[in-house]
Amino acid sequence: MRNARVGSPTTSSRRARGAGGFTLVELVVAVTVVGLIVGPLTAAAEFFISHGGTATGVFADDTSVRSAISLFDTDAQSAESVTAPDPAPCGSGSSALVTMSWTDDSGTIFRASWSTQTSGTTMSLVRQRCTGTTLVSTLLVADVTAPPTVTCTPNCANASTITLTGTAANGAGFTVSSKRRPS
C-alpha cells in the first residue's frame, strides 16, 4: 500500500481538480525564453532606428548626384558657348557658376545657368533654363555643402571639356565631366 499523507494532496491531484498556475521552474523557463527572444529584437530595432537617417541621407545624395550628372551632361554636350563664372546668368540677377548656351535648328537660343542658392542653413545647386531671354524653368538639383567648382579644358572660352565638382549635403562627392560638342 502506498504511503499518502493526509491533508497533503499531491501535485497531480491538485492539477486534476482544476487548480491552475505555473510551477516556479515553468515560470523561470518562460522568462528566460522571452528574454532570449526580446533581447536581440530590441538590439535590431535600435540598430535600424539609429541607422535609418544615414540610409535616407545616402539615398538623397545618390538622387541629387544622379540629377546633377544627367542635367549637366546634357547642357555641356549641347553647349556652343560656355561662360564661367557668369555675371549675367539666365533668369537671375546674381552671378552663376557657369552658363552654357546653344541654338537649335529653328534658331531658338537656349541657356542653362548653374548657380547656388541658400535658404536658411541649406545650400542648393540650382539650374535655371531660358529660351531666348525668358526664364522657362528653375530646378533645385541637389543640396550641397559648398558651391561646386567649374573647370574647363583648355579654358572656358574655348572649352572642349566642362567639369563640375562638388559635395552633396550628406558627404557624397561628385564630379561630372562632359565633352562639349565641337563648334
Place of cell 579654358: 155
User: Which of 145, 118, 116 is closest to 128 using CA atoms?
Assistant: 116
Q: What's the CA gap between 88 and 97, in Å, rounded?
A: 11
What's the CA angle centered on 133, arms 137 and 149, to 5 degrees? 60
Per DSSP, the residues of 97-120 read SEEEEEE-TTS-EEEEEEEEEEET
| Domain range list for the chain | 51-179
3-state secondary structure of 157: helix
3-state secondary structure of 87: coil
Question: What's the one-letter identity of residue 84?
Answer: A
Q: Is the pLDDT of residue 2 over 70?
A: no
pLDDT band at 90 (very low <50, low <70, confident <90, very high): confident
Please state the rounded mean pLDDT for residues 94-102. Answer: 89
Mean pLDDT lowest for which of 20-29, 40-49, 141-150? Answer: 40-49
pLDDT tens-digit readout, 28-64: 888 888 888 888 877 777 776 666 556 666 666 677 7
147 vs 40, higher pLDDT: 147
User: Which of 40, 64, 41, 44 is closest to 52 using CA atoms?
Assistant: 44
Q: Is the pLDDT of residue 26 over 80?
A: yes
pLDDT tens-digit readout, 159-169: 899 999 988 88
Q: What is the pTM of this model?
A: 0.66
44 vs 12, higher pLDDT: 44
Q: What's the CA gap between 158 and 86, in Å, rounded?
A: 15
Please state the rounded mean pLDDT for residues 1-28. Answer: 65
110 vs 5, higher pLDDT: 110
Mean pLDDT lowest for which of 48-62, 100-114, 132-146? Answer: 48-62
Please state the rounded mean pLDDT for residues 118-124. Answer: 88
